Structures are given as C-alpha cells and as structure tokens.
C-alpha cells in the first residue's frame, strides 16, 4: 500500500477539454471567415491534457526550425 500520492483526487475518467468542450475542434475567425481548427489544448482529442503546453504546440506549428532568438520583426518605435 503506497498512500504517498500527490494527487489523491485524481480520477481515471478522462476530463473533457473545457476549451473546445470536448469536441476537439475550435472555430477560428482568423481572416474574417470562421473555420474549424484542431484544438491546441487537447490536440484534437477532446480530452483535457493536464501537462499539455498549448503555447509550445503553437510555437512548433509556426516554425520549429527557427532559432530561439528574440528577433521578432517589430516596427521600430519612432
């Protein structure tokens, strides 16, 4: 018996992703027209991923090969 668990409230039941309501799909209005996109928070599974980093997934989708330098093309302030 190992009662040394950090999260005793954890359940085996999958938790529906609250961002997409368990559908795995989000409606993106980018560009002016709505389109279905895969939910980055659950990777389209519809199940909440506690340890998932949606920001990291986004960065990977935008260009994984780019150097991690802060060289964003920002317009120089006047």
Count, residues near Zn ion per rule CB under 5 A: 6
CB 55 to Zn ion: min, Å: 14
**How many whole angstroms separate alpha carbon 58 and alpha carbon 40?**
7
* Inter-residue contact 43 to 25 (CB < 8 Å): no
The label of the residue with tokens 């018996």 reads 1
32-51 residues in contact with Zn ion (CB under 5 A) are 39, 41-42
Please choose, from the candidates 25, 29, 7, the residue with its C-alpha nearest in 3D space to the C-alpha of residue 17.
Answer: 25
19: contact with Zn ion by CB under 5 A? yes
If the CB atoms of residues 45 and 65 are measured against Zn ion, the closer one turns out to be 45
Interacting residues with Zn ion (CB under 5 A): 17, 19-20, 39, 41-42
């Amino acid at each position: 018996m190992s009662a040394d668990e950090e999260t005793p409230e954890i359940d085996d039941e999958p938790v529906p992703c609250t961002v997409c309501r368990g559908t795995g799909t989000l409606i993106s209005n980018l560009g002016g027209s709505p389109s279905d996109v895969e939910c980055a928070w659950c990777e389209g599974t519809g199940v909440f991923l506690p340890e998932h980093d949606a920001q990291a997934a986004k960065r990977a989708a935008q260009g994984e090969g780019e150097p991690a330098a802060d060289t964003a093309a920002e317009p120089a302030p006047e």
